[in-house]
Structure 1
Amino acid sequence: MNPDPSICRVGNDFYLVTSTFEFYPGLPVYHSKDLVHWKMIGYALDRPGNCPMEGAGSSGGNYAPALRYHDGTFYISCTNYGGKGTQGVFYVTATNPAGPWSDPVWIGNWYVDPSMMFANDSMYWISPDHKGGFSVGTFDPVQKKFIKPLQQVAKGQGGSSPEGPHMYKIGEYYYLMSAEGGTGYEHREVIQRSKSPYGPFEPSPYNPVISNMNHPESPFQAIGHADLLQLQDGSWWLVCLGIRPKGGRFQHLGRETYLAPVKWTDDGWPIGGDNGVMLEEFPAPNLPEHKWEKEPVRDDFNSTTLGLQWNFLRNPYEADWSLTEKPGYLRLNGSKVSLKEKDSPAFIGRRQPDFNMVASTKLSFTPEADNEEAGLVVRGNDANHFSLVVTQREGKRVVLYRKYLQDKVESEEFKEISKDDVILKISATELEYKFWVQPKGKEAILLGTAATKELSNEKIHGFIGVFIGMYASGNGSANTNPADFDWFDYEANPKRIFTVSEK
């Protein structure tokens, strides 16, 4: 889940930011030297003061950032929908893209997908305008106010939901590039240009710049919401979002970031990919390869701070979690808040970036009542998730597998276990999740399965992708005992196979 990518280059370094919606911290910042290998270096919104998320609904929160660099300062514009205290459109600044980032400068409007362009000694704001078009104004970042108010300068190019605009001054033209067709299978990127940022704009005769809407056979769909970039050698590239549906039109990993080359026509129009189509492979950019150190499979929680891969739901409650109360463990103090509420449960999760993977953890937890539980969760949104938790049934300690779909319990399976620590595992393929329990000294036991499509965007709607993480809750009242997670493993494309035992 890395949608709505926006990119900038500073010397030989590339930086990219993507949307996070109701997850916290917000707006991850990635760094690359070669456009191919990327490393997360921080978050633009990493504290409640600059990331108000309380009360944000699922697929609410922080929408479609734009990243720009000017005169020693990085700028990220964004829109925060639904968080308590939000005022809509804002931007934050930093001199180091890894942070710290400033508190928000609230623009006070409620349009989505704002962007910026620095040109002519001015800061231009570009945004959709709720009227099927795009507006531009000039903004003074010193006085923090508009010098020239937003005014409509162009319309969309005929597709639904014109959005995601970016403007670039290239040569004698101002290019206004935008997405349309919705963020689903009709998604596409289009462009128009003018000799003034205030128009009039003429559309490209080669539109769309890039789209796979007419290529249903492609494994990549919903291509759009792009941002242009020029490399040191003068070549041009774009990043955009796309999806990888499986088993039909079902995608559960969320919208991801794609890279494609851009060629310019003799009459000055950009065309992305292979004549406007996103292929599975392109020749790499003409840059020295720069790989980052691989993320370890295991997080053993021996640090006093969480790794950058971890996220909360909305603004977390400090009392819900700790890395110091029991050193070497992640402790979750399950509160009354559950996963199905528009609140922040004791949940710490990470994106699922691979179809084939195994996530596992070693848990120490003693429930005292049927409502108390702790374990692993595959989360689609508030109303759709799969849980593999230690809980109590008829006075006995059990591991329970629950399907919670369309805001109700669809099924439950459970197995009695001893009071020892237990290993919980979730394995996945393109089409199926499997849920395992491994009691101390025994083989892993398969407790249940679920189709990945049940958490697909097409089934549950919204804009996010699956997260997998650790969770604890008393479902209406606080847990009696804490849940201590000794470690968490995430292994992509695993080679090991679990031995299946009877339930």
Structure 2
Amino acid sequence: MIKVSWFTLFILFVFVGCKTETARTYENPIIRGMNPDPSICRVGDDFYLVTSTFEYFPGIPIYHSKDLVNWKQIGHVLHRPENCLAEGAYSSGGNYAPAIRYNNGTFYVTCTNYGGKGSQGAYYVTATDPAGPWSDPVWVGNWNVDPSILFANDSMYWISPDNKGSFMVGTINPETGETITPLRLVASGQGGSSPEGPHMYKINDYYYLMSAEGGTGYEHREVIQRSKSPYGPFDPSPYGPVITNMNHPESPFQAIGHADLVQLPDDSWWLVCLGIRPQGGKFQHLGRETFLAPVTWTEDGWPIAGTNGMMDTSYVVPNLPEHKWEKAPVRDDFDAVTLGLDWTFIRQPYGNDWSLTGRKGYLRLNGSAITLKEMDSPAFVGRRQSALNIAASTKMSFTPTADNEEAGLVIRANDANHYALVVTQKDGKRVVKFRRVLEELLEDEIYTAIPDGDVVLRITATPLEYQFWVQAKGFETSLIASAPTKDLSTEKVGGFIGVFIGMYASGNGQANTNPADYEWFDFEINPVVPYVWNNDQE
């Protein structure tokens, strides 16, 4: 008989327990809904990340994280009309491809603006607090796009594509934006279409120039080259793309690219990038989202991200203490003095179109003559659809006095494509109407009579379908219509943005007589289905 000491059993127990412990992982994407072109920087133990917003206002959300996995929006870089020139921007124009960097107590965000009234192409803004306030734009050039910067050698290097498939580098005065060393051609792309989104890093003895190519579609990829000088000559990586999913059609993630690198305190490296989640084939409607992948380095000093250069669904978390933020509430009851950071407008809003003080505890929209089909700013307050399975609901008070007046909920893809569920008037009777507008053409209109008084409007979504519901007090919930998500997908409507869901009012050519008052707005992820409203729930 073999005798085993208690100490030996204890050691075996600990060893087996350690071997069977499951490593903590995270799921991609890390920031969901329309958050394309991510750029990241680290300041001590804090990480900051920005993404594109195009024609939406305020522009460029800025997110904060302590662990690279859990993110909280802390503000907007372009938070006022003077530094967010969105007025007149065409859909998918405006502000895009930002890059964030930090140097000697100051944050810098470079960006491109085309189409906004007063825009002059490429610019940067600065702040000492990433939550703001941020400066007015310092314009650098009206012809270069997707700029980025590198602080090295006591200089501020400006990196930009030249719109001809190559990249240019020069230096500028960080205080004024004036040229010190003129931009000059330093490298070309690596064979893919539309070389863009360059970032430069000084790592050990090399300057690495990383960029995206292959367009923003299914051949999107991130490539890299390096040199001993920021001005070249640059040699491409012999290992191919840093990351791409273009050769993996089976993956739920596609269009992986437009990336940025960040180094952790433990000297490990990570990569953030954009990607899409197609549904029902090649149809993605949420927009390009933000993904995270670990980076490994070859023995000869080249980075490869993800799983052998492919973005996967999950990875072991970075070597950082977990830091979760307080979960956002489902309901916004509009009791605050300002709108929450989730809310955005289409271009620069008109001050008289919305109010949190016109009726205390309500969001009031004063429907103007402007409609969703115009390249202008209608009375609209919306937010990104940030999950495939959601429910968006609101309780609204609105009394139309003419057939042209309407207010309700909208799913917007761009100026030419939207679904609407609105209260209006038809032949002198109050009704709720579902409308589908595709490529500026009215495809469907469905009317249902409703009584006077407040109504609850609700839009539910699955990966493939939207459903539109209404309930008046004392009545059962009614399904008004359904519509496919793919008709609002980028593959159908074009452009670079994802869908937004929000509240809207318009007189379709003239102002509404009465305001629309929204008592609350609920945004539920993975809602309970079927859902039954209780008229006394408030």
Under TM normalisation by the shorter chain, which class is it? over 0.9
**Equivalent residue for 1:463?**
496
Confirm or deny that 1:407 pairs with 2:468: no
**Equivalent residue for 1:256?**
289
Greater shift in the superposed pair: 256-265 or 102-111: 102-111
| Residues 172-200 of structure 1 deviation map (CA, whole Å, 9 limit, x = unaligned) | 00000000000000000000000000000
**Equivalent residue for 2:467?**
434
**Equivalent residue for 2:531?**
498
Distance in 2, matches of 1:248 and 1:143, equals 49
Residue 243 of structure 1: how far off its partner (Å): 0.1
Greater shift in the superposed pair: 192-201 or 143-152: 143-152
**Equivalent residue for 2:321?**
288
> Which of 159, 176, 195 is matched with 1:126 structurally?
159
TM alignment of 1:40-79, pairs within 5 A = 40-79=73-112
1:107 alignment partner, SS class = strand
Distance in 2, matches of 1:286 and 1:265, equals 20
2:480 alignment partner, SS class = strand
Distance in 2, matches of 1:488 and 1:56, equals 28
> Which of 317, 321, 333 is matched with 2:350 structurally?
317
Confirm or deny that 1:423 pairs with 2:456: yes
| Residues 207-246 of structure 1 deviation map (CA, whole Å, 9 limit, x = unaligned) | 2000000000000000000000100111000000000000
Distance in 1, matches of 2:427 and 2:182, equals 66
Q: Which amino acid aligns with 1:399?
A: V
> Which of 5, 12, 32 is matched with 2:65 structurally?
32
Gap regions ≥5 residues in structure 2? 1-33, 534-538
Distance in 1, matches of 2:365 and 2:399, equals 13
Distance in 2, matches of 1:420 and 1:120, equals 67
> Which of 357, 363, 373 is matched with 2:396 structurally?
363
1:454 alignment partner, SS class = helix
**Equivalent residue for 2:185?**
152
> Which of 106, 110, 113 is matched with 2:146 structurally?
113
Distance in 2, matches of 1:107 and 1:294, equals 39
Q: Which amino acid aligns with 1:368?
A: T
Q: Which amino acid aligns with 1:352?
A: Q
Distance in 2, matches of 1:67 and 1:26, equals 14
2:487 alignment partner, SS class = helix
TM-score scaled to structure 1, two decimals? 0.99
Distance in 1, matches of 2:431 and 2:175, equals 60
Q: Which amino acid aligns with 1:11?
A: G
Asked if the contact 1:8/1:15 (under 8 Å) is kept, the reply is yes
Residue 495 of structure 1: how far off its partner (Å): 1.6
TM-score scaled to structure 2, two decimals? 0.92
Distance in 2, matches of 1:83 and 1:255, equals 22
Distance in 1, matches of 2:65 and 2:444, equals 44
Distance in 2, matches of 1:112 and 1:388, equals 38
TM alignment of 1:208-357, pairs within 5 A = 208-357=241-390
1:282 alignment partner, SS class = strand
| Residues 13-35 of structure 1 deviation map (CA, whole Å, 9 limit, x = unaligned) | 00000000000000000000000
Distance in 1, matches of 2:164 and 2:186, equals 11
Asked if the contact 2:138/2:176 (under 8 Å) is kept, the reply is no
Residue 54 of structure 1: how far off its partner (Å): 1.1
| Residues 294-340 of structure 1 deviation map (CA, whole Å, 9 limit, x = unaligned) | 00000000011000000000000000000001010000000000000
Residue 349 of structure 1: how far off its partner (Å): 0.2
Distance in 2, matches of 1:80 and 1:190, equals 25
Distance in 1, matches of 2:87 and 2:320, equals 43
Distance in 2, matches of 1:304 and 1:340, equals 30
Residue 499 of structure 1: how far off its partner (Å): 6.0
**Equivalent residue for 1:190?**
223
Distance in 1, matches of 2:411 and 2:177, equals 42
**Structure with larger Rg:** 2
Residue 408 of structure 1: how far off its partner (Å): 1.0
TM alignment of 1:80-99, pairs within 5 A = 80-99=113-132
**Equivalent residue for 2:25?**
none
Confirm or deny that 1:175 pairs with 2:192: no
1:276 alignment partner, SS class = coil
| Residues 255-301 of structure 1 deviation map (CA, whole Å, 9 limit, x = unaligned) | 00000000000000000001101011111101111000000000000
Residue 63 of structure 1: how far off its partner (Å): 1.1
Asked if the contact 1:184/1:222 (under 8 Å) is kept, the reply is yes
> Which of 395, 414, 419 is matched with 1:381 structurally?
414
**Equivalent residue for 1:449?**
482
Distance in 2, matches of 1:144 and 1:261, equals 34
2:352 alignment partner, SS class = helix
**Equivalent residue for 1:476?**
509
Distance in 1, matches of 2:197 and 2:150, equals 14
**Equivalent residue for 1:8?**
41
Residue 164 of structure 1: how far off its partner (Å): 0.4
Asked if the contact 1:241/1:257 (under 8 Å) is kept, the reply is yes
Asked if the contact 1:5/1:16 (under 8 Å) is kept, the reply is yes
Distance in 1, matches of 2:135 and 2:356, equals 27
Residue 85 of structure 1: how far off its partner (Å): 0.7
Asked if the contact 1:445/1:499 (under 8 Å) is kept, the reply is no
What is the RMSD computed on CA atoms of the aligned residues? Answer: 0.8
2:491 alignment partner, SS class = helix
1:197 alignment partner, SS class = coil
Residue 112 of structure 1: how far off its partner (Å): 1.4
Distance in 2, matches of 1:322 and 1:496, equals 33
Distance in 1, matches of 2:44 and 2:320, equals 13
Q: Which amino acid aligns with 2:242?
A: V
Gap regions ≥5 residues in structure 1? none
| Residues 83-109 of structure 1 deviation map (CA, whole Å, 9 limit, x = unaligned) | 011111110000000000001101132
Distance in 1, matches of 2:135 and 2:471, equals 46
Distance in 1, matches of 2:167 and 2:73, equals 32
Asked if the contact 1:444/1:498 (under 8 Å) is kept, the reply is no
Greater shift in the superposed pair: 189-198 or 47-56: 47-56
Distance in 2, matches of 1:442 and 1:370, equals 24
Q: Which amino acid aligns with 2:379?
A: A
Residue 498 of structure 1: how far off its partner (Å): 3.4
Distance in 1, matches of 2:177 and 2:489, equals 41
**Equivalent residue for 1:20?**
53
Distance in 2, matches of 1:476 and 1:69, equals 47
Aligned residues: 500
Q: Which amino acid aligns with 1:454?
A: D
Residue 110 of structure 1: how far off its partner (Å): 2.4
